[in-house]
Amino acid sequence: MHIVIMGCGRVGSTLAHILEDNGHSVAIVDRDPQAFRRLRAGFRGRRVTGIGFDRDVLAEAGIGTAGAYVAVSSGDNSNIISARVARETFGVENVVARIYDPRRAEVYQRLGIPTVATVRWTADQILRRVLPEGAEPLWRDPTGTVVLAEVACNPGWIGTRVAEVEETTGVRLAFVNRMGEALLPKSDTVVQEGDILHVLAAENDMDRINKVLAGAPEGEH
C-alpha cells in the first residue's frame, strides 16, 4: 500500500521507517526541507517539500494512489485540514490526524476524522504509572465515553465462564492477562486464579462494574 505522511518530525519519520520496513511505499511531506534529515540514509520513499494541504503537493506525493493518509505535523489546524482534503478531495478513506487539543479531537472524531489526541493520551499513560493499578483506563476513545480498563476480580468469580461474567455484569470482556500473556477469551473460557480481567465499557459505568466484580457472584458465600 502507498501511504502519504504529512510532517517529518520524530513521529512522522518513525512511522515512515516502520511502514517502509513492512513493505509499504511511503511519501513524506514537510514544508521544511531540513526536516528530511531525520530520515535514514537508506530511505527509499519520496520526500516532498511543501504544505500538506496543498493539492499539487499532495498530488506529487502520490495521494491519487494512496491507501492511507497520516497527518502528524506540529499544527492541529494543518493536520485536520490536510486530513479533510485527503478524504474529501482525493477520496482517501483511511486517514488519521494527530491533534494536541483533546477538545478539538472530540469534535473531529464526531465528524468522522479519526484523531489521536496526544496530550490526553500522554496524560493517561502517566496517570496509569503513578496511580494505583487499575485506577486509570488503558485506553479511551477520543470522545472519552468508552474505555478499556483493568478491573479487580473477587476470587468468587474463579471457575466462572466468561459468558456468565458478561451476562451477570453487563460488560464486554475484551481480554484476560493470564500469567503475563494476553488471552482473547471465548464464551466458554473459565476465569482462573491470577487472571487479570480487562473490560470495554462506558466510562460512566465503570464505578458500577468495579463494584459488581469486586463482590462475589450471587450465590457465593
User: What is the DSSP secondary-structure string of 164-200?
Assistant: HHHHHHT-EEEEEEETTEEE---TT-B--TT-EEEEE
pLDDT of residue 142: 66
Give the number of other CB atoms < 10 A from CB of residue 149.
22
pLDDT of residue 134: 57
Q: Which residues of 156-183 are buried (b: 16+ CB within 10 A; e: fewer)?
A: bbeebebebbeeebebebbbbebeeeee
- Tell me the pLDDT tens digit for each residue of 156-176: 999 999 999 999 888 899 999
4 beta partners: 27, 69
- Tell me the pLDDT tens digit for each residue of 84-94: 999 999 999 89
Record the cell numbers describing residue 14, joined without a space: 518513525
pLDDT of residue 82: 94
pLDDT of residue 221: 44
How many H helices and E strands in the chain? 7, 11
**115: Cβ contacts below 8 Å, ≥ 6 apart:** 80, 96, 97, 98, 99, 104, 105, 108, 109, 142
pLDDT of residue 85: 94
pLDDT of residue 185: 93
Residue whose entry in the numeric block shows the C-alpha cell 469534535: 107
Is residue 201 within 8 Å of 151, Cβ to Cβ?
A: no
Give the number of other CB atoms < 10 A from CB of residue 54.
15
Is residue 125 within 8 Å of 99, Cβ to Cβ?
A: no
pLDDT of residue 219: 62
Distance CA 221, CA 217 (A): 9
Distance CA 72, CA 80 (A): 10
Point out the residues of the chain with pLDDT beneath 70: 120-122, 124-136, 142-143, 219-221
